Amino acid sequence: MLMLEHTGRKTGQRRYVVLEVVAHEKPDSYVIVSGFGESAQWFRNVMAEPHVRISTGRRNAVPALARRMTQAEADAALSTYIARHPRAWKALREVVAESLGGRVDPPGTELPLVELTLR
């Protein structure tokens, strides 16, 4: 889990959301997913202003840069998550598919995955 601090694209105000980390393969990188697709407010804000701050574990309000992952990267990261957490995915899959209204399984997932790279 991590807390993402981002800037409202319309208001310019600080916003906060707690999200599950899908992957943390590199020490300076976290991968998160928007279970509500591109319509999630945090996702829209981060795409408009990718300079964010994250808090997780001992890290508190660390500057990071958000980047939407390519389709191939998203498929690979989600496949790894599913392999490592099959019970969690089984529980989440239906809910996420219903909220997204599209394909959630890789390959070709329509779930937007975002990589947060510490700066």
Per-residue pLDDT of the chain (119 residues; tens, 9 = 90+): 999 999 999 999 999 999 999 999 999 999 999 999 999 999 999 999 999 999 999 999 999 999 999 999 999 999 999 999 999 999 999 999 999 999 999 999 999 999 999 99
Domains of the chain, earliest start first = 2-118 (2.30.110.10)
pTM of the prediction?
0.95
Q: How far apart are CA 48 and CA 42, in angstroms?
A: 10
> Residue 109 and residue 56: Cα distance in Å, rounded?
27
3-state secondary structure of 102: coil
